[in-house]
Amino acid sequence: GAGVSQSPSNKVTEKGKDVELRCDPISGHTALYWYRQSLGQGLEFLIYFQGNSAPDKSGLPSDRFSAERTGGSVSTLTIQRTQQEDSAVYLCASSQSSADTQYFGPGTRLTVL
C-alpha cells in the first residue's frame, strides 16, 4: 500500500500569510506525528495524534501553529501569520500505534520570504 504522503512538496509564502500543510497517513495507522527540521537542526517534535484521544500539542512553538486530524485519518498543520523563522521542512509520520515504528512522509519544504 501507499506510504505517508504530504502536500504540497514545496511552499513559498510571504511573511504574514497563513499556510496549510497536509498529511495523508498510512491507512489504518492510528498514531500521527508532525515534526519540523530547520536548517542544521534535528527533527523537532510538534504535535501527536493517537486515535480519538486529545492531541499532545506540547511541541508546538507558538499559538500560531495548530493541527487537526479529521476522521482519524488526514491531518492538516496550519501556520498563521507566518514568520521567516517558520521556514523549515515539515515532516509527518504515522504508526500503527504509539509503540510502533514511525513511517515518515517526504516532507513539505516551507519557505517564508
Partner 1 sequence: DQQVKQNSPSLSVQEGRISILNCDYTNSMFDYFLWYKKYPAEGPTFLISISSIKDKNEDGRFTVFLNKSAKHLSLHIVPSQPGDSAVYFCAASGSRYGQNFVFGPGTRLSVLP
Shortest distance, CB of residue 113 to partner 1, whole angstroms?
21
Q: How buried is residue 85: exposed, middle or buried, by Cβ count under 10 Å (0-12/13-18/19+)?
A: exposed
Task: Please say which residue, 1 or 42, places its beta carbon nearer to partner 1.
Answer: 42
CA–chain centroid gap for 25, Å, is 11
Task: Please say which residue, 68 or 100, places its beta carbon nearer to partner 1.
Answer: 100
Which cell numbers hold the place of 59? 511541541
Binding residues for partner 1 (CB under 8 A): 4, 31, 33, 35, 40-45, 48, 50, 56, 58-59, 91, 93, 98-99, 101-107
